[in-house]
Structure 1
Amino acid sequence: MMLTLLKAKLHRAHVTETDLHYEGSISIDIDLLEKSGILPNEQVDVLNVNTGARFTTYAIEAPRGSRTFGINGAAARLAQRGDPIIVIAYAQMDASEAKAHKPSVVLLNEFNEVIG
């Protein structure tokens, strides 16, 4: 049996930009992708803390050091600049792997700086 567990979480990031006319995805500073272990093009869920909106998309790289969290494409209707969000990636593993698994959780402040 395969189980789906939390792989990585960027907790309480803040949206820096939205672009309705971009092809889609969420742009995330490559430094923060690397810190969390989320890969470019990996499927992620995005949870908007202000509105409760949840959507699935994929991560793309934003410039290193930019602290960007950009909501692109149709999902841009689900967030506004400044909204706190949670970005979650999952991994599938068998029960024995799951027992030893420790997810990566990166806590951010309102400036998308790592605080924990």
Structure 2
Amino acid sequence: MTIEVLKSKIHRVRVTEANLDYIGSITIDRQLMDAAGIIAGERVYIVDNNNGERFDTYVIEGEPGSGTICLNGAAARKVHRGDIVIIMSYAAMTPEEARTWKPKVVFPDTDTNRLIN
């Protein structure tokens, strides 16, 4: 048996764009992806702190250091530019593995979406 456990989280980033005229997904600054251990195409769950929306989509790699957090396609209807969101990914593991697992949690600067040293 496996259970889903938090794998990584990008905590409190600001939405820089909401692009309805796109196929779908979320574009995330590559530096944030790397810091959190999230890869292109991975399923992520998003919580909007401003309006309470919760939804999932997949990741597209954004330009490193750009601070980009762009919701694309239908997901663009669930957020507004400037909203604060939390991006989470999960992994399936055995309960034994989960007991010792430590998720990667990234706390970027909320104004710029860039990593804080």
RMSD, matched Cα: 1.0
% identical equivalent positions: 46
The 2-side partners of 1:44 and 1:30 are apart by 15
Q: Does 1:35 align with 2:35?
A: yes
TM-score normalised by the chain length of structure 2: 0.95
Residues 44 and 87, structure 2, Cα contact 8 Å, conserved in 1: yes
Structure 1 alignment gaps of length 5 or more? none
CA gap 1:53/1:73 in 2 versus in 1, 3 angstroms: same
**Partner residue in 1 for 2:115:** 114
- Show the counterpart of 2:102: 102
Distance of 2:87 and 2:103 partners within structure 1: 13
Deviations 1:48-97 (A, max 9, x none): 00000011100110111111000000110111111000000000000111
C-alpha distance in 1 between matches for 2:43 and 2:65? 22
Task: Give the distance between the partners of 2:65 and 2:113, measured in 1 at CA.
Answer: 10
CA distance in 2, matches of 1:64, 1:115: 14
Q: Which residue of structure 2 lines up, in the alignment, with residue 47 of structure 1? A: 47
Helix, strand or coil: the match of 2:105? strand
- The 5 Å alignment of 1:83-94 reads 83-94=83-94
Gaps of 5+ in 2: none
